[in-house]
Every structure is written in structure tokens, then in C-alpha cells.
Structure 1
Amino acid sequence: MLTAKRKLHFNTDSRGRKRIDREPKPKPVVPQGRVPRVSKLLALAIHFQQLLDDRVVADQSDLAWLSQVTQPRITQIMNLLMLSPEIQEEILQLPKVVEGKDPIHEKLLRPIAAEVCFRKQFELWQKSHGLRTSEEP
């Protein structure tokens, strides 16, 4: 009588069926760090604006109620949309924070967002953060 010993690795396919693999699949490498909070807030503001545009919610008061935050906080978050598209793009592409505090906070962006001229916004952005990654508009 012959006995063969071999390790079997069971995986599931896209339809949930079990299958046998000869080699285990390598586990995906999870990038270290976390997304900066200001990037998350800007993404949230974009999502909120889409909800308003699609008339899923009536106004910012509804957003505040659904999000369980105050109306002034919703206004602060939505004011991030007043930043120039170039600055918004840079914020959304900020590198992950590996350790320590976030380098940029929403509170620091408020005076920049209050500026009406995009060119002046970009100048303020450069002076206050020195994170210029794209060409000036």
C-alpha cells in the first residue's frame, strides 16, 4: 500500500465554490499608514455635495441630522469644496500618515477656502504648507 502525503490548500473562487490549489496564494501586502483626516473630510464633502445635487437630501440641515453632527460642522466640511480644484486634488492625493499627527488639518484650510481668488488660494497653500506637487494654475 502506498501513501502519499501532500499539503492541500483550499480557496474559494469568485462564485464561492471551493477549489484545491497546489500552492497557497500569497497574502496581499497591506500598505502601512492611514489616510489623512483632511483627505477623508474632503471626500466626504464631495459625497455630501453629490447627495445634495441628486436631491437625496433636501439641505445641509438634513445632512447634519443624518450624520449626527452640528449644522456648523457640516458647513465647515462643505467649505472644503470652496478650495481650488488643484488644491483639492493635492489634498486627496496626500501620502498616508505612517506615524504621528497629520501634517495638514481642516482648521488650517479655512482661511485658504475663504479666499475667493483661486490664484491667491494657491499662493496661500504654498506658503502655509509647502506641499506643491503640481504646477501653478
Structure 2
Amino acid sequence: MTAAAAPAVTALTVRVPFHVVRPSRRIELRPGRAPAPAPDANVPRVARLMALAHHYQRLLDGGEVVDYADLARISGVTRARVSQIMDLSLLAPDIQEEILSLTGFRGREPMTEHDLRPIAATLDWRAQWEAWTVLKVDSLRWTNPNRSPI
């Protein structure tokens, strides 16, 4: 009798996607792919508030909320704050577009929502544009005195 031949050993490769997480001092492996990186933190607050005003308007237009009081309850802010945010939508479309495209500021932001309130309160878009240009030039000069304002 001859001894039976040993079965051939085959390699088995298993691929399991995982990512490393450090919730505290220890390192954890979690299943699945790593989440997408957080959006750029350098988007100015005024641009985020402008986007929020557009979102609020979509909620109102779609009938998902009835009024500013509903928006305030959902957002956890006062009705007055919702009004201040929504007033940004009174700015001329060109100004809104420029605000939404602001990026890349380090440190203190060059302009605030409070700076835009008097501009939004102006009904004439041409007058808004003139005030916006002055604010923009002053803000850029303030953030970087060596930078060309426009």
C-alpha cells in the first residue's frame, strides 16, 4: 500500500475594505471605505449663511415649512435670526453669486453677515452693487494690505 498523496495547499485571499479611525488614544479598524473628507473649513460664514438662506427658501417654496417660525423651530434659532439670514436673499443676484464663491480666507473673516445688512436693506440693486464694491475693497484691504483690491 502506498501512502496517499497530501492534498495540495491553495492560498485564499480575502479582501475586506476597512479604514482606520482614532476616536481617542486607541486605533480602531472599521469596515467599509473611509468617509469623504470634510468640506473646506475656509468657506466664510457669510457664504454658508447665504447657502442657508437659499435652503430655507426652498423649504418655504416646497411647502415643507409654513413660515419663519417653523424655520426657527427646526433650526434652533429665533425668528429674528431667520429673518436676518433670509434678508441675504434680498441682495442682487450678482452679489449673491460673489458671496457664494468666496473661499480661502485664513484667520478672521473679511466680512460678516452684519456688514451686509445695510446693503440688503437697499432696494436698488445698482446702489447695492456700489455699496458691495466699497465693502469688498475695504474688506480685502483690511485682510491683506499688500493685495490688490479687485
Structure-1-length-normalised TM-score: 0.71
Separation in 2 of the partners of 1:112 and 1:35?
Answer: 21
Amino acid at match of 1:87: I
**Other-structure match for 1:25:** none
Separation in 2 of the partners of 1:75 and 1:101?
Answer: 25
Residues 1:49 and 2:57 aligned together: yes
Once the two structures are TM-superposed, the CA of residue 128 in structure 1 deviates from its matched residue by 1.7
Which stretches of structure 1, 4 residues or longer, exceed 4 Å deviation after superposition? 28-33
Which of 65, 79, 82 does residue 90 from structure 2 map onto? 82
Residues 1:34 and 2:35 aligned together: no
Higher relative contact order (CA 8 A, sep 6+): 1
* Structure 1 segments unaligned to the other structure (5+ residues): 1-9, 13-17, 19-27
Deviations 1:84-123 (A, max 9, x none): 00000000001222x2111110000000000000000000
What is the CA RMSD across the aligned residues, in angstroms? 2.6
Structure-2-length-normalised TM-score: 0.65
Amino acid at match of 1:44: L
| Paired residues for 1:1-137 under 5 Å | 34-97=42-105, 99-130=106-137
Once the two structures are TM-superposed, the CA of residue 127 in structure 1 deviates from its matched residue by 1.1
Aligned residues: 110
Larger radius of gyration: 2
* Structure 2 segments unaligned to the other structure (5+ residues): 1-14, 18-31, 141-148
